[in-house]
Amino acid sequence: MSAKQAPTVFQHWPMFNLGLLLCVVWTAVSVIETTHLCRLQYARLQALQTEEWGMQENWSRLLLEESTWAAHHRVEKLAGEKLAMRAPTAADMKVVLR
């Protein structure tokens, strides 16, 4: 038997175990980072949904206000009071033929 023997499989186990340990640690850190980023994005989503809800509420109020200001009876009343407008009589109408 010679003084130098070929390396056996068992001599490489410490490096293999170290490699596996590094892979496990890297995977754990990646999972933690991904979870953190997911939580940040979810918090941002909730903030945007809250903002959307507020804007939707504002839009509904504006539509209601617009329909109130543009109501037919209100426009007719203001036209008569402020602009002295009135509906035309039959004598005021003229028929135009081609």
- Burial string for 4-37 (b: 16+ CB within 10 Å, else e) reads eeeeeeeeeeeeeeeeeeeeeeeeeeeeeeeeee
pLDDT digits (tens, 9 = 90+) for 29-49: 999 999 999 999 999 999 999
Q: What is the pTM of this model?
A: 0.56
Average pLDDT, the chain: 91
Distance CA 3, CA 36 (A): 55
For residue 22, what pLDDT is reported?
Answer: 97
- The model's confidence at residue 80, banded by pLDDT at 50, 70 and 90, is very high
Each domain of the chain, given as residue ranges in start order, spans 12-83
For residue 11, what pLDDT is reported?
Answer: 75
The percent of residues above 70 in pLDDT, for the chain, comes to 90
